[in-house]
Amino acid sequence: MSTTTAEWLQDVSGWIGNGREVLREYWFEYLLFVPTLVFLLALVWGPFVRGVWMSFHDWPLFGESTWVGLDNYAYLFGWDALYTSIRATIIFSLQTVLQLVVGLGAALALTRISSFRDFINGIYLIGFTMPPVVTGTMWYFLLHPQFGPIQQYLTDLGLLGSPVFWRSSGDIGIWVITLVSAWTFWPFVFLVLFASLTNIPDEHYETARVYGASRIQQFIRITLPQLKSAILVAISIRIVWNLVKVSQPLQMTGGGPGYETSILAILLYRFTKEQRELGLSFSVGVVLFVITLVFTVLFIREFERATGEGGETA
Q: What is the pLDDT along the chain (314 residues), one digit of tens a residue?
A: 455 666 666 666 666 666 667 667 776 766 777 777 777 677 767 777 888 888 898 888 777 888 988 898 999 999 988 899 999 998 998 899 999 999 999 998 888 877 777 788 888 888 888 888 888 889 999 998 888 899 888 888 888 888 889 988 888 999 999 999 999 999 999 999 998 888 888 888 888 888 888 888 888 888 888 888 888 888 888 888 888 888 888 888 888 888 899 898 888 888 888 778 888 888 998 998 888 888 888 777 777 776 665 445 44
The secondary structure of 134-148 as a DSSP string is HHHHHHHHHT-TTT-
**224-243 vs 80-93: helix crossing angle, rounded to 10:** 150
- The span from the CA of 224 to the CA of 218, in Å, is 9
Note the pLDDT of residue 18: 67
Among residues 189, 199, 219, the alpha carbon closest in space to that of 124 is found at 189
Note the pLDDT of residue 8: 62
The backbone torsions φ and ψ at residue 7, rounded to the nearest 5 degrees and listed phi first, read -65, -40
- Before 131, cis peptide (omega within 30)? no
Note the pLDDT of residue 179: 93
Note the pLDDT of residue 15: 67
As its CATH architecture, domain 79-313 has Orthogonal Bundle (1.10)
Domain ranges, ordered by start, for the chain: 3-54, 79-313
Long-range contacts of 174-178 (CB under 8 A, 24+ apart): 174/88, 174/91, 174/92, 174/260, 174/261, 175/91, 176/143, 176/252, 176/253, 177/92, 177/248, 177/249, 177/252, 177/253, 177/261, 178/91, 178/92, 178/94, 178/95, 178/98
Q: What is the value of pTM for the model shown?
A: 0.78
Note the pLDDT of residue 313: 43
- The span from the CA of 51 to the CA of 278, in Å, is 9
